[in-house]
Amino acid sequence: MSAATVTRDDVIRANIEVHTRMASTYQSNEPHFRPENRATVRGVLAALAARAGGGRLLDVGCGTGFVIDLARDLFERIDGVDVTPAMLERVDLTGGHVRVHEARAEALPFDDATFDMASSYAFMHHVTDHVEILREVRRVLRPGGLFYVDLEPNKLFWAAMNGLELRGGAYSDIVEREIQSVLHTDDAVEGEFGISAQTFRDAEPIKSVLGGFDPDEFAADARGVGFAAVEVTPQWYLGQGAILHGQSEADAATIESYLRRALPATAHLFKYLRFVCVA
């Protein structure tokens, strides 16, 4: 299913506007740049790089280089692709093996079977049709290559938060914070950056139109374009940040372990999804 209530060009224009305005503060403001998340993603990238055999990495929707910075010593060459020049200008190109390309993810400027691994962090919900991206990434991956997709909105969680807001009532600070994050980030961005709430919503059609990704449907879409297998891992349970920073890392890990043992009954309590697609 696509999120084509606005055109692809409209979505791309909205993303360029949003991320041009955010570029200068992106690495200091975005939560995924926090040390604890960087350590988690670094661990995932290291494990996947070992599976893929190093070689060549493509980072789709690379932004200012979040994945590139964490993976630069894990691959012989890294290529980053994004549509926003202001973001690409901030990518660290030191080392001589990192290159960036201003290009659309639907039309990657690379030959078939070029890469050993591809990554996409917090990007796939910014497009009108994620299946096009899956198909194009599959084209440029070698047989057996990996596509790592992370920090994508879990439709089950988004629906749960929407249901709570519609029901109304007084909730704990943890629940209220999640409701605001899921349903009202557009208003916060408008106040902070002067970006209209509608433009921000246009830049995230998978969130604003579809309410996130259904994990089973995304996996089926990936298999439908030729990926042989898809590994799905839910990430960041409700209130995990509050427990991590307000109590302890050990408490957060204990709760996470329990919620994972209780899957799939607890799937709606995890905010984001991680996928590893095997070509």
The domains found in the chain, sorted by start residue, are 8-278 (3.40.50.150)
**Quick one: pLDDT at residue 5?**
67
Report helix, strand or coil for 222.
helix
- DSSP-derived pairing of the beta strands 98-102 and 77-82: parallel
Query: pLDDT tens string for the chain (279 positions)?
Result: 455 567 899 999 999 999 999 888 888 788 888 888 999 999 999 999 999 999 999 999 999 999 999 999 999 999 999 999 999 999 999 999 999 999 999 999 999 999 999 999 999 999 999 999 999 999 999 999 999 999 999 999 999 999 999 999 899 999 999 999 999 988 888 888 888 999 999 999 999 989 999 999 999 999 999 999 999 999 999 999 999 999 999 999 999 999 999 999 999 999 999 999 999
Instruction: Say which amino acid occupies 225.
Output: V
Let me know: does 86 contact 23? Beta carbons within 8 Å: yes
- Cα distances (Å, whole numbers) of residue 141 to 24, 79, 147, 148, 236: 32, 13, 8, 12, 29
Report helix, strand or coil for 186.
helix
CA distance 52 to 61: 20
